Amino acid sequence: MSLRSPPLADAHEAAGARFTDFGGWEMPVEFDSIRTEHAAVRDSAGKFDVSHMGEIVVSGPDATRLLQRLTTNDVTDLDPGEAHYSAITREDGVMLDDTVVYRLPAAVEGDYLFIPNAGHDEQMADRWREHTDEWGFDATVDNRTTEYGLIALQGPETPDLLSNETDADIPAMGRFEIVAAGVAGADCLVATTGYTGEAGYEILCPWDEVESVWNALDCQPCGLGARDTLRLEMGFLLSGQDFDPEAEPRNPYEAGIGFVVDLDTEFVGRDALEGVDVEGVDEKLVGLSLIDRGIPRAGYTVTTPDGEELGTVTSGTMSPTLGDPIALAYIPTDYTEPGTKLRVVVRDEPKKARTRTTPFLDR
């Protein structure tokens, strides 16, 4: 299978970016250094090309019913121009993906937009279409992943930065909203969502006009490396790593996002999740800080102080902001009380660690 390239591939190449394969896309992982890019987002502003994320537009008389049955959150809560975080589960309650569902503003063509993770767009579009047919719904499912580029503009200075490039009333927007806006002359959708914990925007642009929007947003270009350290400091999940239907099958309660599950709605997986709440799971995703020197990495074993194996690190790094080694791991709920002393095995060496609540960073 050949790798898909984002519309900005040539511009990134010219900027000296390093690339990595992510979800079947060749994406920039680092422009200058992860530390520099990470700090720019925490302190001022950074821009990410996240055109590898999927874009699927769902429309028609039964669009709301379809979204309601294929995502865990209550779609009827959304007014036009609003968005929420949600999960996509299968019958047994295991998460296939996490996503943001946008109810599109009235002036925009289409009813809903949702953003599956990189490489999941075709699978999700197929799933939506199959269920539309199966349930006899009147809805259309349009995979626009290669029609839209997506730029994430993140950091405390981004409200001012973006306001200078658009006529839309950016400062008036609350979190999880979406508006149609001209940005640098391109017809875009601007959403107050992100994956860093900072103020910021995700800007959907027509594929052919991404470059002019990207160039107009004058700030530090950032790669997927900094995107990963930024999201991990917030304890945000990475699809395919912190949960995955094959490699790490987890339900939303185990993954710590029970808040996106509304059991009063009828969605695929609801019956399996009914009665399972935070108290009802055997294992839970927990934050870990290392006390000893060392860096926890995905795949490292977590044990009790006596060496009894408890679980595995799913994500770990040296937090650039805190200067501390941090990780996420699934462990039995008996050990998830904040402050519980555990060990992370780093190259056969048990390193002292302590459980803690996430986010690791106050925001």
Partner 1 sequence: MSFDVPDDLRYLDSHEWVRHEDGTATIGISEFAQDELGDVVFVELPGEDDELAAGEDFGVVESIKAVSDIYAPVSGTVVGVNDALVDEPELINEDPYGEGWLLEVALTDEGELDDLLSADEYRDQIA
The span from the CA of 298 to the CA of 265, in Å, is 35
Map residues 174-213 to x or -, x wherever contact with partner 1 holds by CB under 8 A.
Answer: ----------------------------------------
Q: Which listed residue (17, 23, 25, 30) binds partner 1 by CB under 8 A?
A: 30
Shortest Cβ 328–partner 1 spacing (Å)? 16
The span of 27-35, 46-54, 192-200, 213-221 binding partner 1 (CB under 8 A) equals 27-35
The span of 33-41, 54-62, 63-71, 257-265 binding partner 1 (CB under 8 A) equals 33-41
Shortest Cβ 295–partner 1 spacing (Å)? 5
Contact status: 7 vs partner 1 (CB under 8 A): no
C-alpha pair distances (Å), 165 with each of 25, 153, 159, 162: 29, 12, 10, 5
The span from the CA of 329 to the CA of 269, in Å, is 24
Binding to partner 1 in span 328-347, by CB under 8 A: 347
Contact status: 14 vs partner 1 (CB under 8 A): no
Q: Which listed residue (194, 221, 287, 294) binds partner 1 by CB under 8 A?
A: 294
Question: Given the structure tokens 């945000």, which residue do they identify?
Answer: 236
| DSSP structure class, residue 104 | P
Contact status: 109 vs partner 1 (CB under 8 A): no
The span from the CA of 1 to the CA of 71, in Å, is 29
C-alpha pair distances (Å), 192 with each of 60, 107, 186: 25, 18, 18
Binding to partner 1 in span 54-83, by CB under 8 A: none
Contact status: 16 vs partner 1 (CB under 8 A): yes
Contact status: 320 vs partner 1 (CB under 8 A): yes
Q: Which listed residue (3, 318, 332, 361) binds partner 1 by CB under 8 A?
A: 318
Q: Which residues of 11-22 are buried (b: 16+ CB within 10 A; e: fewer)?
A: bbeeeebebeeb
Binding to partner 1 in span 229-248, by CB under 8 A: 229
Pick between residue 279 and residue 347 the one whose CB is nearest to partner 1: 347
Pick between residue 292 and residue 334 the one whose CB is nearest to partner 1: 292
Q: Which residues of 46-72 are buried (b: 16+ CB within 10 A; e: fewer)?
A: bbbbbbbbbbbbbbbebbbbbbbbbbb
Sheet with 148-154: list strands edge to edge.
178-183, 186-191, 200-206, 148-154, 46-49, 220-222
Pick between residue 34 and residue 191 the one whose CB is nearest to partner 1: 34
Shortest Cβ 33–partner 1 spacing (Å)? 5
H helical segments located in 154-276: 158-163, 210-216, 224-233, 270-273
Binding footprint of partner 1 on the chain (CB under 8 A): 16, 29-30, 33-35, 225, 229, 293-295, 297, 317-318, 320, 347
